[in-house]
Amino acid sequence: MTRYTMTIDGRSAPAAATFGVINPATGEVFARAPDCSEQQLDAAFAAAERAQREWGKDEAVRRKALHAAGDLLFNRAQELAPLLTAEQGKPIPDALFEIAGAGIWLKHFADLPVPREVIRDDDAARVEVIRRPMGVVAAITPWNFPLVLATWKLAPALLGGNTVVLKPSPYTPLTTLAVGELMREVLPPGVLNVVTGLDPLGAAMTAHSVPRKISFTGSIATGKKVAAAAAADLKRVTLELGGNDPAVVLDDADPAAIAPKLFSRAFQNNGQLCSAIKRVYVPEHLHDDLVEALAATARAARVGDGTQEGVQFGPINNRPQLERVSGLVADALARGGRAAAGGGPIEGPGYFYRPTVLADVEDGFRIVDEEQFGPVLPVVRYGSVDEAVERANGTHFGLCGSVWGADVDRATEVAGRLECGTAWINTHADLHPGQPFGGFKWSGVGTENGPWGLESFTELQVLHRAKS
């Protein structure tokens, strides 16, 4: 078994204890990851704190390093992709896409201006607003996109002059460890520390006295714990949490034309995407055609081990998630829902699940009300647009949403009524490093990406110079 090591203060940090990492395509442990000790976590934060003093000084050095980090990911993508597939399950082309995305994010921030604004300059005073680093950032990521979501945090944090201690999910620790090892070539010691361990390590990071900011992506339940822990010493937090994105199909939409895109944005990464379409609202007269078009696409999809060529969807990442998805579908079927495609797991080893389209389901069913985070799409009938909007909004979630229709102005007007951080028109989950991303309500606190994301990793300081 290849062993990957934690990166603390620019060096390999061997751990006394390890934990197993399962390949979801086989259900077998295929590697072991280090279980960070309390002393090692202290060492990682101490290294980050020391390194920050120098790192915070020179923006040009930071930009150069971020470019080099992005290039490194582009250059090493071929060797990282099989590791990401092995621990996460996604097909190799999707793994390559994610690694390229991580490189793009690093390079985008490498060139993003850090604002310095003179807001007043008159006879009495010159007042300038500048951005200062916060210090050390604790970054915690989930298992669906371990690498690209890490760079959503690293890139703005590092550009802003902060240093980072990064912890991936225990389900997908290896690619992040490997990237930590690679980054020793381009980042000074202590600027990026990578630690791995089970969930209590995340809690220990949020309770630690050194970090001034926690940037967290994960579930709502854990996000609330992070917010509570951060409150104890008023750490800043950004929380990117779960979603239950509605897609509202208007009555002038063409089901055959929109079904392929709706399908791809619901099932991307096997539905394990915070901003995937998680429920579709459709008017009665389009319902059957849309369900059939989605179901035909689902039936034709090729599911298998992500290392095999031509596979579109790999396994669900982990057994608890497979059981959760299975439970939500079983509940819907027991209550009168109909599986127009799929409807259950695939027999055999690994956590494979048939792409599933559910009809005859409605609000109040768990599969509609909760976040499935898996390859299942419920299609729900509605009467009026007002009713669809009300049901789309009638939830604690508020990450993203979309509206689909031939009259784009009308669709845009309806999209503007959705209570969510991003509302797309005739598309969904179209993300860009320069476009802000964040959730309303329980889907998050704060914003990532673009200048807004950068801002969230800085403290605003006013330099007020008296002239008389």
By the criterion CB under 6 A, which residues form the site for ligand NAD?
140-144, 149, 167, 169-170, 199, 202-203, 206, 217-219, 222, 225-226, 240-243, 274, 371, 373, 399, 439, 444
Query: What are the structure tokens assigned to 425, written together?
Result: 């028109």
Work out how close the CB of 284 gets to ligand NAD at its nearest, in angstroms, rounded to a whole number: 30
The smaller minimum CB distance to ligand NAD, of residues 113 and 200, is found at 200
The smaller minimum CB distance to ligand NAD, of residues 206 and 402, is found at 206
Q: How do strand 376-382 and strand 458-466 relate by DSSP bridges?
A: unpaired
- Helix, strand, or coil (residue 1): coil
Query: What are the structure tokens assigned to 407, written together?
Result: 């009259």
Residue bearing tokens 């939409």: 253
At a CB cut-off of 8 Å and minimum separation 6, what does 108 contact?
A: 155, 433, 434
Query: Which of 36, 87, 98, 240 is an active site residue?
Result: 240
The smaller minimum CB distance to ligand NAD, of residues 284 and 323, is found at 323
The closest residue (CB) to ligand NAD is 202
Work out how close the CB of 199 gets to ligand NAD at its nearest, in angstroms, rounded to a whole number: 4
Query: Which of 274, 400, 448, 455 is an active site residue?
Result: 274
Work out how close the CB of 149 gets to ligand NAD at its nearest, in angstroms, rounded to a whole number: 6
Cα 369 to Cα 29, 397, 422, 429: the distances in Å are 34, 9, 19, 20
Cα 413 to Cα 95, 410, 421: the distances in Å are 36, 5, 15
- CB of 314 closer than 8 Å to CB of 23: no
The smaller minimum CB distance to ligand NAD, of residues 9 and 240, is found at 240
240 as an active site residue: the answer is: yes
Work out how close the CB of 152 gets to ligand NAD at its nearest, in angstroms, rounded to a whole number: 8
DSSP 400-439: EEEEE-SSHHHHHHHHTTS-SSEEEES------TTS-B--
455 as an active site residue: the answer is: no
Work out how close the CB of 203 gets to ligand NAD at its nearest, in angstroms, rounded to a whole number: 4
Q: How do strand 444-445 and strand 236-240 relate by DSSP bridges?
A: antiparallel
Work out how close the CB of 179 gets to ligand NAD at its nearest, in angstroms, rounded to a whole number: 15
What's the sign of the alpha-carbon dihedral 405, 407, 408, 414? negative
Distance, in Å, from the CA atom of 319 to the CA atom of 315, rounded to the nearest integer, reads 10
At a CB cut-off of 8 Å and minimum separation 6, what does 20 contact?
A: 29, 31, 32
The smaller minimum CB distance to ligand NAD, of residues 71 and 199, is found at 199
The smaller minimum CB distance to ligand NAD, of residues 297 and 318, is found at 318
Q: Which residues are catalytic?
A: 240, 274
